[in-house]
Amino acid sequence: MRFGVNTWVWTSPLTTSELETLAPKVKQMGFDWIEVPFEGVDDFDPSEAGRIVKDNGLGVSAAAAIGPDRDLIHPDASIRENGMNYIRACIDACQKIGVQNLIGPIYAAVGRTWQQTVDERKHDVDLLVQNLSRLSQYAQDRGVVLCLEPLNRFETSFINTCEQVIEVVDRVNSPSCGILLDTFHMCIEEKSLGAAIRLAGISRLKHFHACENDRGAPGSGHVPWADVAQALKDIGYDGAVVIESFTDKVKSIARAAAIWRAFEPSQDALAQNGLKFLKGLLA
């Protein structure tokens, strides 16, 4: 099992120079994995990013930022196509960096919520499956896996639960389309975090975010961590476990994610305390 942290903990948007500073810092803290966000696909140089993470002996994943103009199921076809082009650009950047897992709510804009009828939802799921099938083939040809993340009901009304994301992933039926589960969102939407992890299973669960209920340091709140640890053990999960939290500098999703205050005395403390707890829980 590898333990990582998303650079959103410290900065936004990520630049090449900031990654040059953060990568050795993350390594020194004891992490062996780093996650880089693509708020804009030109924010940093992917080839240089690949060199930086390799020089620091880190594994790496990437996060897609799905804003209003990147929505894969939006009624406006031009917005959908822009979203498809953005994900393709992210996949191309992943290939240059050496990233396997591209994660995030790769379906609808973060913060867009709307009421759907049964027929409207069926139409949108069909549309998403169609678009993800195309993207998954593009990803597979480049050695990348799309990891779809259910979000809580306040950030999306489309995919909130493990059961809902399984429906999509199973219909896409591609080795390059899997699931990311995040304990922050699961605490709001799942009856049992352990049951959701077991439902996803090792064949679908490709990535994992270990986040506290308030986005603070893992272990500092009321996530049922023993249940999470047992479920990951039960399915034989041995992939990356990444802390994802945010600084209020993250303008791209600050409103949707409601990032209004600091969660710990410092961002370094959030990362270090969370890592110490997760290693004790899972290592």
Catalytically annotated residues:
149, 244
Ramachandran quadrant class, 104 (left: phi over 0; alpha: psi -120 to 50; beta: rest): left
Decide: 5 and 36 in contact? Cβ < 8 Å.
no
Provide the b/e sequence for 235-255 (b: ≥16 CB within 10 Å).
bebebbbbbbbbbeebebbee
